[in-house]
Structure 1
Amino acid sequence: MTERSRVAAATAAFLLAFTLFALATGRDAVDRWVAATALPPTLGETSVEIRDRTGALLRAFQVGNGIWRLAVQPDQVDPRYLALLVRYEDKRFWTHRGVDPLALLRAGWQALRHGGPVSGGSTLTMQVARLLEDGSTGRWAGKLRQIRVALALERRLGKRDILALYLTHAPFGGNLEGLRAASFAWFGKEPRRLTAAQAALLVALPQAPESRRPDRHPEIARQARNRVLHRVAAQGALPADEAAAARRAPVPQSQRGFPQLAPHLADALRARDPGQPRHDLTIDAQLQGALQALAAQAARRAGPDLSLALLVADHRSGEILAAVGSPGYGAARDGFVDMTTALRSPGSLLKPLIYGLAFDQGLAHPETLIHDGPVDFDGYAPRNFDGAYRGDIRVRAALQQSLNIPVVRLTEALGPARVIAALQRSGVQARIPGGRPGLAIALGGMGMRLQDIVQLYAALAAGGQGVSLRSEKTAPRSEANPVLSPEAAWQVGNILAGLPPPPGAQAGRLAYKTGTSYGHRDAWAVGYDGRHVIGVWIGRPDGTPVPGAFGGDLAAPVLFEAFGRLKPAFDRLPPPPPATLISAAADLPPPLRRFRPRGSFEAPGAALRLTFPPDGARLAADGAPVTVKLSGGAAPFSVIANGSPALTGQHAREVELPYPGAGFSTLVVVDRNGRSDRVTVWLD
């Protein structure tokens, strides 16, 4: 008899003797002995988990010493596995009180008879006791301690709690602890649905987790699995034909990687709140995986050392559905840098906002003529990207061609501070060099994040109403602020929907804009349909130039591909609001037919002011006409309500404006020389 056999036989004899002793001694003495037991901690550290909108695992983090240990409850596990586990390991688990005397007697008798262990006498509760204390199983003192802790556990915890401890702490080879970690590592899935072969292997592994590891000892693992299948089939717990088919199934030859979806976002959330065991996000795991794959493919097409970031949001709810910070989460292409949150120059992506503000201010209309020619604003002389001039051009065409000079003219007329105020209303906090905005902001002279860009365009898509983006399901929804009137926002979207799409893409279904920052450092594309908004950035994380990189060439195709992976068809863009001024150039009010820069035609006299109602006022109009009072300027006057001419040819400085409807209304007055003033009021 070997030394190991002698120890096992002695241990079995002790267990047999202890069982007989326990039966013979009084219940009160045993009760006092169990009640005095000091239990080990039962709340072991488990992996921080990042979950998607449906509860699917996006990413998990290892606990101390690099262990994968994921929290799990019995109701999260395939009932087949639980049935096989109890049947194979501890068939009286649901009825005994921590120790199974019959199993101990059987194990002791078999060990004495055969000179070594034949079957185990440990219950699942005893195994939990050993796992919690990391104790020995072969020595009398260790076995006695397990019995005592098992009896105490049964008194203080329920059966399902004990089962949950086993499912969380059982070893499955290497750095895998617990059923969920094992199921992900060996089968790449949650243990909610397991085949008979998979369930049997997971039952067999904890008995000898290292010697039965499928990736190192596949034949031993297969034999151990098949013993489980044979025994449970012989006991009638599994149909014979199903067990036979399961025995023919291959065992996994290698471990699979744990999910690593939205890793940059996961890192940020864990760093912000390291004590939170679980973060539930608005991310869609399937979409996130598809767009991470797209980002990797597109970055390879774009060129070496280039990074790429993507952000997808639902502009109706503000939920972020996918956030791709780089083409791959690794050292290649600086993949650890999250480019959705990096400050970059937005290039020409602010132009749609500036045109929308000009529409709201009564400075321009999509059919207004604006001059594209050399300009100089106190030493600042912007030029178009191609260095050419178009002369007189419609505002619609100027935006679609992304000309620089017309938008700087409008920015000068609006004032840069008004543009920054609109960004702030949309929830964007831009970084302005020197802290004071100048005309260069129209061409990207500031720092913005991809998330800021998507948030701004979400406001355009939502009819000018600010949208607060959020990635956490429990995050409160912020109160939205109006950025543009619905009419101006629709006009901007209508212009952007007229841009020709990349080759092979559908035209007119997506309102989108591309951008390229100074020195070809950033290539952008952002667009929206009736439901979703997507932003794309391509460039180098260190900010070095990418010669020849243009947003239209690099980023726009990725934008349309991303929409294709998001859904099979575009959601229809909304129709124009009822008050939208849709008119040919010749039918526009005279001041809107041609844009004239501030100061170029000022007539003598006081500046035009809309003195009543005051900006921001709340009026109880109750459907009655609204009194409008003017000062300064030169008659005749036109009053535009919510983008639509309401009064024209007025010479009086106090007029009655037909009730424009309840809610926010933007009123713009324009005099014969094109001077204008604007207020936004709330009408009850």
Structure 2
Amino acid sequence: MNKIQSRIRQHKIKLVVITLVLIAYYFCLPNPLFKTPTATVITSSNNTLLGAKIAIDGQWRFPHNDSIPEKFKQSVLLFEDAYFYRHPGFNPISICKAFSQNLRSGSIKRGGSTLTQQVIRLARKGQPRTYFEKLKEIILATRLELSTSKDNILALYSSNAPFGGNVIGLDAASWRYFNRSPYNLSWAESATLAVLPNAPSLIYPGKNQKRLLTKRNRLLKKLLQNNVIDSLTYRLSIAEQLPQKPYPLPEITPHLLQKIAQTHHGKRLKTTINIQLQEHINYLVKTHYNQLSENEIFNAAVLVLDVKSRKILAYVGNTPTHMLHQKDVDIIDKPRSTGSILKPFLYAAMLDAGDILPNTLVADVPTQFGNYNPKNFSNDYDGAITASRALSRSLNVPAVRMLQEFGLDKFYHYLSALHLKDLKYNANHYGLSLILGGAESNLWDLCKSYAALSSTLNHFSETSGRYYTNEFCDPIFIEDTSINFGEIIAEKPLFDAASVYLTYESLKEVNRPEGDESWEFFDGSKQIAWKTGTSFGFRDAWAIGTTKDYVVGVWVGNADGEGRPGLVGIETAAPILFDVFDLLPNSEWFSKPFDEMQEIKVCKLSGYRASQFCDTTEDTFVQTSGLKTKPCPFHKLIHLDKTETHQVNSSCESIDNITHKSWFVLPPLMAHFYKTKNPFYKPLPKFRIDCLQDNAVSMEFIYPKENNSIFLPKEFDGKTNDLVLKIAHSKPELTVFWYLDATFMGSTKDIHEFSMIPKPGNHTITVVDEFGNEAKRHITISE
């Protein structure tokens, strides 16, 4: 012990120096070794390259790849460092030979560097090639050998070696020079890449082809002599052509690449994209773009989601248009006017709240709310229509009236729960136009919302009548991530399963695009719940559809917001939607959520719960919340004579001779339009002339609406056109008297239409029937 202590005291300085040297040696290797920026690279779910965004220093340098293709590995070892797996980081024999040759020539002609030393030199880029620098490389190379495996050193070399121009690393070189993965290269192609880093500034595809060919063939000869390849492979390899110029990298999902680069810049990510589906949809969008551009419609976007996993299977952010038409803009997450695409959410909300049943009759008549005067796309009215049919036909007036009845704030609450990020203002800011495109949303949020509804149904069926807490979550596009749907609970997250199912049953009946109208008659046809939308001014066309397994969303329009005639959802977006669904596997229809439904008797004519006066009923499964809806208000018991042609009462007929009958009666304005579409609608019979009648009658203006501003055009001869006034009366046989500003103008009977030419200015139109019932309209005649 004393001897050891004595020796330590004697060699204290040496031990300190050795210790410091060992510490310096331990910490001399930078970590990480390479700090250069890398490109953002994305691949499909099966690892096919989708696209790459160049590194910020302008180099095509892919992120580090731990694996190396065997062909390239064999080629580069034989060409650069045959003793790679046997030396400690440097090769003394090669160094001595290089030193001797350099002395004879009087300059540095040969380096004698191993692959490990070359990795160090690449990491220490820009250092002069001197003997002192070579010594540093040797020290750092031995340290690198001690810190990692040989295979990892080889991977570092292949990921950072220069391959000519601005191409760095094997992966980038393989795609730039051969347009495919390095794992799919031939022996000749692998040999070509193996020799390039030796003199990347002198030889690369397109430059010094003869020298490159000589080097490649010399390496192939070595591979043959070392029994790495056989003679047939050798002959075929030397016959292969050299690449002449770099290929552009794939641009299969350029807009998804943009999106990923914002948060994962310089990373390599495996996405959820299905490469075959993506390429087919790219082709579809290009085909439709060629047709749409003839009408100066230049942009479109498509998003495809897997309902069960919420993975994005295809992402087309825009058409292959020109820079002039903003082809680089990713439309998928950009706010656009929603048109009618929110109507299914209102229908589901009213079902969920128990305000309607699926086939409840709603009014479809000319309507005005203050200065807001919604119109149907066809400028036609049905008078009364089932809520389900109003949704499948996307009628505007019933939707606005339903929103007004349901409550704007109440509906806004439902929309807020969908997490639509572009719904930035309060409910009053949007008003009733909210349901017709007064708000903005984007394809991403809308598709995720439809996917959430579909998933709610799926999970309800899978869990025997329960829900998940986190249905309304964002889709995912990175393969190694998954959705956490939260906990299983008994309470609905937003809409109950029955309301969603009944909404989808209505959307399944939406009229399909031209050429696909008879879809329901074909075996194997896809059952799809889908909806279109068209914004005001024909600026945005939408189509979103869902099956049990997939959601497809399509937007068509111009990125700059320019409207075009014919830019409507059914004509431009829906054809793309169904072309995409044709690429997807068939899905079974959603299971009926019986646990959230009850079978009740429903009035067949009105769709309401059957009242005691409904003479035609049917048993129908409805949402449980629908049990609180009111009974049918349109059937009433009336009293007829024995011929059933006139109404009577006890004032003119004995009770024994009175027939009691249920009658379907709509309010006058609804009846006026309803009977034009329903020829079997029977108005109430008139009272027999000898009966005392109940004077309770009703009448409503059809035209004009309250506070209308009206312009009366003139003919070519200068004559001003008449203003034609029109009312609906519950008893049209009564005489109606017309007044303009308290001045009697005339009377009508049976058909209550009246023409007049008021002077410019403000006027009051008054109508009075012979029972004294009165209605007024205030209008302005403009010049």
Q: Which TM-score applies when normalising by structure 2?
A: 0.67
Partner of 1:283: 273
In the alignment, the residues of structure 2 paired with residue 497 and residue 391 of structure 1 have an alpha-carbon distance, to the nearest angstrom, of 24
Instruction: Give the alignment of 1:200-279 within 5 angstroms.
Output: 200-272=191-263, 274=265, 277-279=267-269
In the alignment, the residues of structure 1 paired with residue 35 and residue 305 of structure 2 have an alpha-carbon distance, to the nearest angstrom, of 37
In the alignment, the residues of structure 2 paired with residue 525 and residue 589 of structure 1 have an alpha-carbon distance, to the nearest angstrom, of 30
Q: Residues 592 and 363 of structure 1: is their aligned pair in 2 closer, same or farther, counting only changes over 3 Å?
A: farther
Partner of 1:187: 178
What do the CA deviations read for 1:207-263 (whole angstroms, capped 9, x no partner)?
111322113343433222111101121122222221221111122222122233433
Task: Confirm whether residue 576 of structure 1 aligns to residue 592 of structure 2.
Answer: yes
In the alignment, the residues of structure 2 paired with residue 229 and residue 190 of structure 1 have an alpha-carbon distance, to the nearest angstrom, of 21
Partner of 1:19: none
Q: Residues 491 and 173 of structure 1: is their aligned pair in 2 closer, same or farther, counting only changes over 3 Å?
A: same
Task: Confirm whether residue 428 of structure 1 aligns to residue 435 of structure 2.
Answer: no
Instruction: Give the alignment of 1:298-309 within 5 angstroms.
Output: 298-303=288-293, 304=296, 306-309=298-301
Q: Is the Cα contact below 8 Å between 1:368 and 1:593 reproduced in 2?
A: no
Partner of 2:358: 366
Matching residue's letter, 2:274: D
> Of 391, 394, 398, which aligns to 1:399?
391
> Of 468, 474, 493, which aligns to 2:473?
468
Q: Is the Cα contact below 8 Å between 1:306 and 1:540 reproduced in 2?
A: yes
Kindly state the Cα deviation for residue 577 of structure 1 after the two structures are TM-superposed: 2.5
Q: Residues 395 and 435 of structure 1: is their aligned pair in 2 closer, same or farther, counting only changes over 3 Å?
A: closer
Partner of 1:551: 569
Kindly state the Cα deviation for residue 581 of structure 1 after the two structures are TM-superposed: 6.3
In the alignment, the residues of structure 1 paired with residue 46 and residue 604 of structure 2 have an alpha-carbon distance, to the nearest angstrom, of 53
In the alignment, the residues of structure 1 paired with residue 26 and residue 204 of structure 2 have an alpha-carbon distance, to the nearest angstrom, of 39
CA RMSD after TM alignment: 3.6
In the alignment, the residues of structure 2 paired with residue 383 and residue 219 of structure 1 have an alpha-carbon distance, to the nearest angstrom, of 75
In the alignment, the residues of structure 1 paired with residue 483 and residue 549 of structure 2 have an alpha-carbon distance, to the nearest angstrom, of 21
Kindly state the Cα deviation for residue 462 of structure 1 after the two structures are TM-superposed: 3.0
Partner of 2:484: 477
Q: Residues 211 and 564 of structure 1: is their aligned pair in 2 closer, same or farther, counting only changes over 3 Å?
A: farther
Matching residue's letter, 1:644: V
Q: Residues 552 and 81 of structure 1: is their aligned pair in 2 closer, same or farther, counting only changes over 3 Å?
A: same
Q: Is the Cα contact below 8 Å between 1:131 and 1:169 reproduced in 2?
A: yes
1:533 aligns to what SS in structure 2? strand
In the alignment, the residues of structure 2 paired with residue 529 and residue 476 of structure 1 have an alpha-carbon distance, to the nearest angstrom, of 19
Instruction: Give the alignment of 1:80-479 within 5 angstroms.
Output: 80-107=71-98, 121-134=112-125, 139-272=130-263, 274=265, 277-303=267-293, 304=296, 306-328=298-320, 331-431=323-423, 435-436=427-428, 437-463=430-456, 466-473=471-478, 474=481, 477=484, 479=486
Kindly state the Cα deviation for residue 200 of structure 1 after the two structures are TM-superposed: 0.5
Task: Confirm whether residue 644 of structure 1 aligns to residue 660 of structure 2.
Answer: no
Q: Residues 329 and 673 of structure 1: is their aligned pair in 2 closer, same or farther, counting only changes over 3 Å?
A: closer
- More displaced 10-residue stretch of structure 1: 333-342 or 469-478: 469-478
In the alignment, the residues of structure 2 paired with residue 135 and residue 144 of structure 1 have an alpha-carbon distance, to the nearest angstrom, of 16
Partner of 1:495: 506
Matching residue's letter, 2:186: T
In the alignment, the residues of structure 1 paired with residue 61 and residue 153 of structure 2 have an alpha-carbon distance, to the nearest angstrom, of 16
In the alignment, the residues of structure 1 paired with residue 631 and residue 393 of structure 2 have an alpha-carbon distance, to the nearest angstrom, of 30
1:518 aligns to what SS in structure 2? coil
Q: Residues 672 and 471 of structure 1: is their aligned pair in 2 closer, same or farther, counting only changes over 3 Å?
A: closer
Instruction: Give the alignment of 1:54-73 within 5 angstroms.
Output: 54-73=46-65
Q: Residues 136 and 485 of structure 1: is their aligned pair in 2 closer, same or farther, counting only changes over 3 Å?
A: closer
In the alignment, the residues of structure 1 paired with residue 348 and residue 271 of structure 2 have an alpha-carbon distance, to the nearest angstrom, of 33
Partner of 2:540: 522
Matching residue's letter, 2:381: Y
Q: Is the Cα contact below 8 Å between 2:476 and 2:483 reproduced in 1?
A: no
In the alignment, the residues of structure 1 paired with residue 147 and residue 586 of structure 2 have an alpha-carbon distance, to the nearest angstrom, of 57
Q: Is the Cα contact below 8 Å between 1:373 and 1:389 reproduced in 2?
A: yes
- More displaced 10-residue stretch of structure 1: 167-176 or 124-133: 124-133
Kindly state the Cα deviation for residue 203 of structure 1 after the two structures are TM-superposed: 0.6
Q: Residues 477 and 463 of structure 1: is their aligned pair in 2 closer, same or farther, counting only changes over 3 Å?
A: closer
In the alignment, the residues of structure 2 paired with residue 526 and residue 36 of structure 1 have an alpha-carbon distance, to the nearest angstrom, of 61
Q: Residues 151 and 671 of structure 1: is their aligned pair in 2 closer, same or farther, counting only changes over 3 Å?
A: closer
Q: Residues 126 and 33 of structure 1: is their aligned pair in 2 closer, same or farther, counting only changes over 3 Å?
A: farther
What do the CA deviations read for 1:150-202 (whole angstroms, capped 9, x no partner)?
33433444323322221121110111111111112112233234311111111
2:439 aligns to what SS in structure 1? coil
In the alignment, the residues of structure 1 paired with residue 555 and residue 494 of structure 2 have an alpha-carbon distance, to the nearest angstrom, of 24
> Of 614, 628, 638, which aligns to 1:669?
628
Q: Residues 382 and 561 of structure 1: is their aligned pair in 2 closer, same or farther, counting only changes over 3 Å?
A: same
Matching residue's letter, 1:576: K
Q: Where do 5+ consecutive residues of structure 1 fail to align?
A: 1-27, 595-633, 637-641, 646-664, 676-684
Kindly state the Cα deviation for residue 98 of structure 1 after the two structures are TM-superposed: 1.7
In the alignment, the residues of structure 1 paired with residue 438 and residue 27 of structure 2 have an alpha-carbon distance, to the nearest angstrom, of 70
Q: Residues 245 and 96 of structure 1: is their aligned pair in 2 closer, same or farther, counting only changes over 3 Å?
A: same
Q: Which has the larger radius of gyration?
A: 2
What do the CA deviations read for 1:399-451 (whole angstroms, capped 9, x no partner)?
22211111122112211222222222333344266652422112111111111
How many residues are aligned here? 581
Task: Confirm whether residue 486 of structure 1 aligns to residue 486 of structure 2.
Answer: no
- More displaced 10-residue stretch of structure 1: 425-434 or 390-399: 425-434
Matching residue's letter, 1:218: Q
Q: Is the Cα contact below 8 Å between 1:60 and 1:258 reproduced in 2?
A: yes
What do the CA deviations read for 1:549-596 (whole angstroms, capped 9, x no partner)?
11111111111122233x2x32122243326568896458974479xx
Q: Is the Cα contact below 8 Å between 2:60 and 2:166 reproduced in 1?
A: yes
In the alignment, the residues of structure 1 paired with residue 242 and residue 405 of structure 2 have an alpha-carbon distance, to the nearest angstrom, of 72
Partner of 1:12: none
Q: Residues 238 and 586 of structure 1: is their aligned pair in 2 closer, same or farther, counting only changes over 3 Å?
A: same
What do the CA deviations read for 1:38-58 (whole angstroms, capped 9, x no partner)?
446613333333344445443
Q: Residues 582 and 462 of structure 1: is their aligned pair in 2 closer, same or farther, counting only changes over 3 Å?
A: farther
What do the CA deviations read for 1:285-337 (whole angstroms, capped 9, x no partner)?
44334333433332222113521111111122222222222114862421222
In the alignment, the residues of structure 1 paired with residue 363 and residue 112 of structure 2 have an alpha-carbon distance, to the nearest angstrom, of 92
In the alignment, the residues of structure 1 paired with residue 600 and residue 231 of structure 2 have an alpha-carbon distance, to the nearest angstrom, of 79
Kindly state the Cα deviation for residue 546 of structure 1 after the two structures are TM-superposed: 1.5
1:65 aligns to what SS in structure 2? coil
1:131 aligns to what SS in structure 2? helix
Q: Residues 311 and 582 of structure 1: is their aligned pair in 2 closer, same or farther, counting only changes over 3 Å?
A: farther
In the alignment, the residues of structure 2 paired with residue 181 and residue 396 of structure 1 have an alpha-carbon distance, to the nearest angstrom, of 55
In the alignment, the residues of structure 1 paired with residue 28 and residue 542 of structure 2 have an alpha-carbon distance, to the nearest angstrom, of 63
Identity within the alignment, % = 30
Q: Is the Cα contact below 8 Å between 1:48 and 1:278 reproduced in 2?
A: yes
